[in-house]
Amino acid sequence: MPFSSEAQFRADGHGSVPPPQGYWRFAWRSGHGANSLLFEQRAVAVNLGLFGALLLASVIYLSLGSVKVAPMAVLQALFGNADMMASFVVQELRLPRLAAAASTGAAFALAGILMQTLARNRLATPGIIGIDNGATAFAVASIVGLGVSIAPPAMALAGATTAAVLTFGLAAGNGTQGYRFIVAGIGVGAVFGAITQLMLARVAIDTANAAYPWTVGSLNARPSGALQLLMLGLTLGLATAMALARSLTLLRFKDATASGLGVNVKRRRLEVLLLSVALTGLAVAVAGPVGMVGLIGPEIARSMSSSRSVPVLAATLAGALVMVLADLAGRTLLAPIEIPVGIVTAVVGGPWLLWILMRPQRSFT
Amino acid sequence: MLLLLTALVAVSLVSLLIGAGSVGPGRALSLLSGAQDSEAHFIVWELRAPRTLIGIVVGMALGVAGALLQAVARNPLAEPGLLGVSAGAAFAVALALVLGASAATLRISVAQLGALVGCVCVLSVARFRGVGNDPIRLVLAGAAFSGLLASLTSLILLYDQRAADEIRFWVIGSLAGRRLDDLFAVLPSMLVASVVVALIARPLAALALGERVASGLGHHPNLIRWLVIACVALLVGAATAIAGPIAFVGLVVPFVARALAGPDIRRTLWFCLPIGPLIVLAADIISRVVVAPSELPLGVLTALCGAPVLIAVVRARRLPML
């Protein structure tokens, strides 16, 4: 009984209504009204745990490589009092790449969980419904010289938008639910993939090699400026997604139910879609199509969280963690040969996707 | 059927007449009617004729393989390209290239082995917990599988720039620059596959009535399935080894064939024989003409034309079940 007489008595002046089971409440007064925020204890624990794991992975990431730096030296180098060599390796070489890995992973996973919620299907990530391929095709076009005047990040955004418009347009008759929508997206992705292959085959081998990391997803060839743009977009996107968190939770229900609960369904879906597409485009501009992170990140977050709400923050953190670990593996496993991070995630993510498909059907998202 | 055969002859003729180079349709036509023209003779008989023949064989192989796979998976979306069979073959070829295999025959048997592994993997996923009962989930499983194999292929190519350069043309799928030797190399396995297909056509038709009916009629469903998978692997592996992975032909051809032939798999298979080459050759001719004087690879063209078909099939309110 949440509203027992005792609680009401305490709400009158001396205390407050006890928060629901498993929540913490932070209450404060401002002016006339009383405000409060509820925090789900499990979500807080999950987010803190993922954040801690991300920090730990980052330190390992910074310390391993062709030049090994001891973890303590990494910390010293970060705070600026280590020897020159360690400082240079950590700050100049590995830190920017770590930032790129973490923010692309976060962006892919955030875009993934937004799209999954929108389509009410855990397989509907931007990578699978062809948006990654669209962004890649446009970015490769700008690299091989079909659109030289436009920088890759802008082209990737344009490509992501084009692919999203195509997929959603083509699936329009059936709505965005279910698997048909996804197969329509696979078709769109196949077309863009073919166009990318075509462009790569028509240029000289050197240009093709320059564009090659773009087709598999790699953190090697990061265009300058794209990372800053991505970090800005990610910050804004994450803030927006957190602000939308309540309506995201309701978007999982039927449209009628959600509108009945006060969500402007059409507008929210459009916002969520735009956010997801923009994040995907920006992330592809930095790292190419590393689509599987958009699937794995949200899946990890969901398996750790309770099903009360959409774990937006946890998915973002998990995506960053997955990407950092994958790039670490790619850099170190077969050293000195470097495996592009897109290949690492695809080799892990393909079986993962099959496993999701083969698991007994549960309700999605 | 007669109409289809006539159309096939006409398309083959057009395929001989049209193409890059200074030999236009008129000149080629006068050559075919007996005029002496050494340059035209070279272009038509040495370049275009093998290409046409290979197109015909590849079209037949992919069409029949598509029909077989759809029948055995009982799923209208089961397509060798979508289900990762071609990706398996491509992966195997990339592996063989890097390991130094250059002989055409070796390449083909390796591709067939890869196709077999791909086939078995996807179909065992399909039989697992009813994934195969939902056509669209099967396609997703195939996409997952293809993605995995494609990244492994990329991984192999990272080690070997020479192979990467060789394979980036092959991986698109094209009939350009293939020689008759390639064709002769695949013919034996194609023949074996055709004989087996001819033998199992009747049991396969019985299998369409359901497993128990087929057993009751004295057939062995599991044996049939394995034979079909072997045939698909032989056909797709051979086609992929010559022409590279060509998507969506195995989806479109059986669709047209079923529309014309009705539900009987035997009639469908017969109809696939002219329709497959018809579609492949038509696509190949378009690929030569549309951006002349350069060429659009066949694989790109089939993807551009086949993806809308896939989407149209998926958009249909009710998927036709086999």
CB-CB: which of B139, B150, B152 is closest to A186?
B139
pLDDT band with cut points at 50, 70 and 90 for residue A104:
very high
Instruction: Provide φ and ψ at A37, rounded to 5°.
Output: -125, 140
Interface residue B304 vs chain A (CB under 8 A): yes
Of residues A184, A364, A351, the one with CA closest to residue B152: A351
pLDDT reading at B124 higher than 90 = no
Cα dihedral B123/B128/B132/B134 (nearest 10): -150
**Separation CA B235–CA B239 (nearest Å):** 6
Sign of CA dihedral B49, B53, B58, B59: positive
Q: Cα(first)–Cα(last) distance of chain B, in Å?
A: 23
Contact between B140 and A182 using a beta-carbon 8 Å cutoff: yes
**Separation CA B92–CA B25 (nearest Å):** 39
Q: In sequence order, what E strands does chain B have?
A: none
Task: List the single best residue of A121, A192, A198 to mutate versus B (max B Cβ within 10 A).
Answer: A198
Cβ-Cβ contacts under 8 Å, B139 against chain A: 183, 186
**Separation CA B112–CA A284 (nearest Å):** 35
pLDDT reading at B95 higher than 90 = no
pLDDT in tens, A266-299: 888 888 888 999 999 889 888 888 878 888 899 8
- Which residue, chain included where needed, has tokens 């670490």? A328
Cβ-Cβ contacts under 8 Å, B147 against chain A: 292, 346, 349-350, 353
pLDDT reading at B171 higher than 50 = yes
Mean pLDDT for B272-283 is: 89
Cβ-Cβ contacts under 8 Å, A202 against chain B: 294
Mean pLDDT for B57-62 is: 90
Q: What is the DSSP letter of A309?
A: S
pTM of the model: 0.80
Cβ-Cβ contacts under 8 Å, A292 against chain B: 147
Query: How many alpha carbons fall within 13 Å on the CB side of residue B255?
Result: 18
Interface of A with B in 197-236 (CB under 8 A): 197-198, 200-202, 205, 208-209, 212, 215-216
Cβ-Cβ contacts under 8 Å, A214 against chain B: none
Interface residue B45 vs chain A (CB under 8 A): no
Cβ-Cβ contacts under 8 Å, B88 against chain A: none
Q: Tell me the residue type at B44.
A: V
Of residues B278, B259, B286, B312, the one with CA closest to residue B55: B278
Number of A/B CB contacts below 8 angstroms equals 130
Helix, strand or coil for residue B264?
coil
Contact between B303 and A191 using a beta-carbon 8 Å cutoff: yes
Question: How distant is the Cα of B151 from the closest Cα of chain A, in angstroms?
Answer: 5
In the numeric block, which tokens belong to residue A286? 């930095």
Task: List the single best residue of A144, A180, A348, A355 to mutate versus B (max B Cβ within 10 A).
Answer: A180
In this prediction, residue A8 carries a pLDDT of 44
pLDDT band with cut points at 50, 70 and 90 for residue B168:
low
Contact between B308 and A208 using a beta-carbon 8 Å cutoff: no
Sign of CA dihedral A148, A151, A152, A158: negative
Of residues B283, B279, B275, B284, the one with CA closest to residue B4: B275
CB-CB: which of B82, B129, B314 is closest to A358?
B129
Three-state secondary structure readout of A47-89: HHHHHHHHHHHHHHHHHCCCCCCCHHHHHHHHCCCCCHHHHHH
Residue A19: Cβ within 10 Å count: 17
Residue A174: Cβ within 10 Å count: 16
Helix, strand or coil for residue A141?
helix
Q: Which helix (H) or strand (E) holds A35?
A: strand A33-40
Instruction: Provide φ and ψ at B89, rounded to 5°.
Output: -65, -45
pLDDT in tens, B26-58: 677 777 777 777 777 777 777 788 888 888 898
Interface of A with B in 286-315 (CB under 8 A): 292
Q: What is the DSSP letter of B40?
A: H
Q: What is the ipTM of this complex?
A: 0.73
Question: How distant is the Cα of A84 from the closest Cα of chain B, in angstroms?
Answer: 33
Q: Tell me the residue type at A78.
A: L
Of residues B199, B204, B234, the one with CA closest to residue B221: B204
pLDDT reading at A320 higher than 60 = yes
Task: List the single best residue of A177, A192, A352, A354 to mutate versus B (max B Cβ within 10 A).
Answer: A354
Interface of B with A in 125-144 (CB under 8 A): 125, 128-129, 131, 134, 136-137, 139-141, 143-144
* Mean pLDDT, chain A, integer: 80
Contact between A187 and B311 using a beta-carbon 8 Å cutoff: yes
8 A C-beta contact, residue A286 and residue A104: yes
Q: What is the largest CA-CA distance in chain A?
A: 80
Cβ-Cβ contacts under 8 Å, B125 against chain A: 354, 357-358
pLDDT band with cut points at 50, 70 and 90 for residue A7:
very low
pLDDT band with cut points at 50, 70 and 90 for residue A314:
very high
Interface residue B252 vs chain A (CB under 8 A): no
Q: What is the DSSP letter of A107?
A: H
Q: Which of A78-82, B197-201, B225-229 has the lowest mean pLDDT?
A: A78-82
Interface residue A349 vs chain B (CB under 8 A): yes
CA–CA distances in Å: residue B142 to residues A155, B13, B132, B287:
30, 37, 11, 27
Contact between A184 and B311 using a beta-carbon 8 Å cutoff: yes
Of residues B191, B221, B229, the one with CA closest to residue B68: B229
8 A C-beta contact, residue A305 and residue A43: yes
DSSP sequence for A142-183: HHTTSSTTS-HHHHHHHHHHHHHHHHHHHTGGG-S-HHHHHH
**Separation CA A124–CA A114 (nearest Å):** 10
Cβ-Cβ contacts under 8 Å, A357 against chain B: 125, 131, 137, 140-141, 144
Question: How distant is the Cα of A365 from the closest Cα of chain B, in angstroms?
Answer: 17
In this prediction, residue B101 carries a pLDDT of 65
Sign of CA dihedral B141, A286, A134, A175: positive
Contact between B311 and A201 using a beta-carbon 8 Å cutoff: no
- Which residue, chain included where needed, has tokens 């034996």? B188
8 A C-beta contact, residue A106 and residue A228: no
